Amino acid sequence: MSECVIFNKYIYLYIYLYICLSSFVANEEKFFLRYNGGEKEWEFELDLNTEGGKELYERLKKETKIELTFKYDSVSLYYEFNDAFSCLLKNYYSGPRFIQLYKGAIAFNSQKLFIFHFSHSDIIKHKIGYLIETEGFSSEELEPLANSDSEIKIELVLKTDEIEKFDNTKIAELNKKIIIIIIIGLSILIILFIIKFIV
């Protein structure tokens, strides 16, 4: 009988923990390159193991949207740094590395931020992310978006989908429900215990 009580106690504890944990905020963060207010959109990932990736992530967390004017060339979109984008420059390190940059790679050197629409081998100092899906991100699709100066305005956007809000009153209500469940469970066990001794 004591084993049955212990077993039920663990079941109630498991139910309580599951309900409480599922009630916390579940934020899903996604990063997008967005052209013309969402006419075209490409999702990207940041490498948070790199200093530049972390810096860009922190800036996007604060601002949620950064509009940059990129130049278009045969292999990449590139943005020439200015003072407004010094967060990456402070993480720049010297010493060239010759690396293969695949289509969709996001990288920077001391002067520019690059988003490659064509696989390319180059001396790039710092790769910080990549496009998750490169469909629609090719010279054929990008070139018509460029103006006469080969410029394309692109927004870097952080979207946060809040799946469920955390609420202290909700936890209080859950506590009441759990207590009721435990009382009912113990009542059933007591009734079963009494019936066993009567019969």
Residue-level pLDDT at 164: 44
Which of 110-114's residues contact partners 24+ apart within 8 Å by CB, and which partners? Answer: 110/81, 111/80, 111/81, 112/78, 112/79, 112/80, 112/81, 113/68, 113/78, 113/79, 113/81, 113/85, 113/88, 114/76, 114/77, 114/78
Total-model pTM: 0.65
**What is d(CA 104, CA 95) in angstroms, rounded to the nearest whole number?**
24
Helix (H) / strand (E) containing 117: none
Residue-level pLDDT at 85: 67
**What is d(CA 103, CA 93) in angstroms, rounded to the nearest whole number?**
23
pLDDT tens sequence for the chain (199 residues): 455 445 555 555 555 555 555 444 445 789 999 999 889 999 999 999 888 888 899 999 999 999 999 999 999 999 998 766 666 656 555 555 667 788 999 998 878 899 999 998 877 668 899 999 998 899 999 999 999 899 999 999 999 865 444 455 666 677 777 788 888 877 887 887 788 777 6
Q: What is the CATH architecture of 28-162?
A: Beta Barrel (2.40)
Domain boundaries, the chain: 2-25+165-198, 28-162
**What is d(CA 170, CA 118) in angstroms, rounded to the nearest whole number?**
51
